Amino acid sequence: MEQERTFSEYLRSFSEETSPLDFMLIYDHLDQFFYGAFVTMELTFLALFLGGLLAIPMAIARAYKTPILNPVIWSFTYLFRGTPLLVQLYLIYYGLGQFEAVRESFLWDPILSSPWWCVLIAFVLNSSAYTTEFLRGSIETIPVGEIEAAKACGLTPFARMRLVVLPGAFRRALPAYSNEVIFTIHGSAIASLVTIQDLLGAGRWLNGRYYLAYEGFVTAMVFYMAIVFIITRIFRIAEKRYLAHLRPRETTDVPALVAQS
């Protein structure tokens, strides 16, 4: 026990006095970073889930050029894709509170006065705008032959959409959606600017408490890289499974086939 304690003291002394990175201080506060990672993942996946639910009907309306809804949805996607996410968050978190009607509404106390809800609303709207557009593109690239085969089978328009169009669009949208997931995780770092203790917020807290330059940011960076690596691997497995039919086939030996015939 004495030898183990001495080694621990040696590590702490090396970390504080010799190492350019105080890794023992980071180790002592890893719980803050794991909690921040949990908040980051919670906000990210809630935003992706709710944004995806909003994006599906909007993408269908955009792909089929619905007369009234199409220009309205285009304006919505252009607004949220054409402006920075940080500006959108500030407008929701700081801007809505400037209106007396908003402050007196039933939504103010439980939702709009809470930074967590304001961050989630901004993330959902932003994610739904991006998801709408690449899902629209996936719907429009569904082969005509699949649609004609579904019609020949007697499927109704709703059944064609549910059984043929949307499943095919989801499969084709996987590569683009993986980028959206990573973009949302990276964009979630701005949540710390409105008092949310997310992953970056944990790094800012560590640096501010102990007057450090980069230990907190380096630790947050490692956590972000680990999360992105796991998500990338998951999407690669999904793409291999659901997009196998889109990969080019291996070339066969044509002369050998001719000789056999």
What is the domain-level CATH number for residue 156? Answer: 1.10.3720.10
In the predicted structure, residue 35 carries a pLDDT above the cut 90: yes
Residue 2 lies in a domain: no
Residue 160 lies in a domain: yes
Summarised one tens digit per residue, pLDDT across range 38-76 is: 999 999 999 999 999 999 999 999 999 988 999 999 999
Residue 18 lies in a domain: no
Packed helices 30-63 and 69-81: angle between N→C axes, nearest 10 degrees: 150
Residue 110 lies in a domain: yes
In the predicted structure, residue 221 carries a pLDDT above the cut 60: yes
**Count of domains for the chain:** 1
Q: Do 63 and 140 touch, CB atoms closer than 8 A?
A: yes
Residue 6 lies in a domain: no
In the predicted structure, residue 231 carries a pLDDT above the cut 60: yes
155: its two tokens: 């499927």
pTM of the model: 0.85
Residue 9 lies in a domain: no
Residue 10 lies in a domain: no
Q: How far apart are CA 178 and CA 171, in angstroms?
A: 12
Positions of E strands within the chain = none
Q: Residue 176 sits in which domain range?
A: 23-260
